[in-house]
Amino acid sequence: MGGGGSKEQSVLQTPWRTMNWGKKKDELEWLKSFRLQSGHVKCLRVLVCGPAGGGKSSFINSVDSICQNRITSPADAHNAQGTDLQLAKTAGQSFTLNYKTHQIQRERPGQYFPFTFNDIMGFEGTRGILLEDIELAMKGHVKEDYKFDPESALDDSNDSYNNNPTSNEKAHILVLVVAVNINDVADQRMFKKMTEVRIAARDLGIPQIAILTKIDERSSPLVKENLRNVYSCTYIKNAMEKLSNTMGFPLNCIFPLKNYHAEIELKDEVDMLILTALRKILDLANEHVNATGVAATNLSANNVNRT
């Protein structure tokens, strides 16, 4: 569980990535005024995926908390390290089983941000969500509340299969959520699965980013003490570089952060790391939707010109 040996725990004199920690107000203003670039869809759909227990549901809860300016937990997060016998049996297995769309409420009830998050079942060692089902979710074929089956993929005869997904129902970005110690704990099979999902997203033209969670519990004590040391910690830097090397994510598409999981109040440093990742997610999704909207318009214009 630890963050590796003392060499890996070493601390850089100067942070290798610059963060303006005093910018939270500006980031929140940006978020509040966030609009879609294209009228092609009503809402951006962010699909999270990753190993069981990596922090997918907690990430959705953390974004929701920041957006509502209070700690909330719309997505079911779960501590699989529980000592209860029943819980212990589920260690390593995904707690989230169903396909669930989370609208993100503004501070005022009944008003929502123009983006949603889709929570799904996690990858497990030998079981967990199937690649085919993640592909179907990306394409918008999975209906709300569908319970994923690790034995067989959703097929088009199932009531939960959406035959004609609209642009709104397709995923507009894929977010891979993994704990910062992923390189220490995941085997080749897990990396293969994650890479396959990334390639599937690429083939569909969907942008992808990675989030490294749990930097508070798996890194240098200096990071635990103060999250502002995140980019001075070599353990986190190494984890990001290794993920970039094994899976091909550019480093500027990998974001380390800590989710809200035990706190009862928001903290500026936690918010800043999450807001930085969220901004990249929304920018990429927005660009993707805009580009596909333009392509669709050009296609229909070409078809009209030909007739």
Ligand X SMILES: Nc1nc2c(ncn2[C@@H]2O[C@H](COP(=O)(O)OP(=O)(O)OP(=O)(O)O)[C@@H](O)[C@H]2O)c(=O)[nH]1
Binding ligand X (rule: CB under 6 A), the pick from 36, 52, 223, 277 is 52
Residues in 6-35 that interact with Mg ion by CB under 5 A: none
- In the numeric block, the tokens 């962010």 are attached to 46
CB closer to ligand X, 57 vs 276: 57
Among 214, 237, 280, 288, the residue binding ligand X under the rule CB under 6 A is 214
Quick check: 260 and 65 in contact, CB under 8 A? yes
- Contact residues for 291 (Cβ-Cβ < 8 A; gap 6+): none
Question: Is residue 116 part of the contact set for Mg ion (CB under 5 A)?
Answer: no
Please say which residue, 90 or 158, places its beta carbon nearer to Mg ion: 90
Instruction: State yes or no: residue 217 binds ligand X (CB under 6 A).
Output: yes
Q: Radius of gyration (Cα) for the chain, nearest Å?
A: 19
CA–CA separation, 211 and 143 (whole Å): 26
Site string for ligand X, 122-161 (x = CB under 6 A): x---------------------------------------
**CB under 6 A: which stretch of 109-117, 145-153, 208-216, 236-244 binds ligand X?**
208-216
Structure tokens at 299: 């296609």
Which member of 96, 116, 118, 276 binds Mg ion (CB under 5 A)? Answer: 96
Q: Which two tokens stand for residue 63?
A: 């974004």
Between CA 150 and CA 34 the distance in angstroms is 37
Number of amino acids touching ligand X (CB under 6 A)? 23
Q: How far is CA 267 from CA 71, 157, 185, 299, in A?
A: 10, 47, 29, 47
| Window 53 to 92, contacts with Mg ion (CB under 5 A) | 56-57
Assign 49 to helix, strand or coil: strand
269 in Cβ contact with 228 (< 8 Å):
yes
x/- binding map, residues 88-117, to ligand X, per CB under 6 A?
A: ------xxx---------------------
Rounded distance between C-alpha atoms, residue 53 and residue 71, angstroms: 20
Nearer of residues 55 and 207 to ligand X, judged by Cβ: 55
* CB closest to ligand X, residue no: 122
222-281 residues in contact with ligand X (CB under 6 A) are 258-259, 261
- Could you count the other beta carbons within 10 Å of the beta carbon of residue 211? 28
Binding residues vs ligand X (CB under 6 A): 50, 52-58, 77-79, 94-96, 122, 177, 213-214, 216-217, 258-259, 261
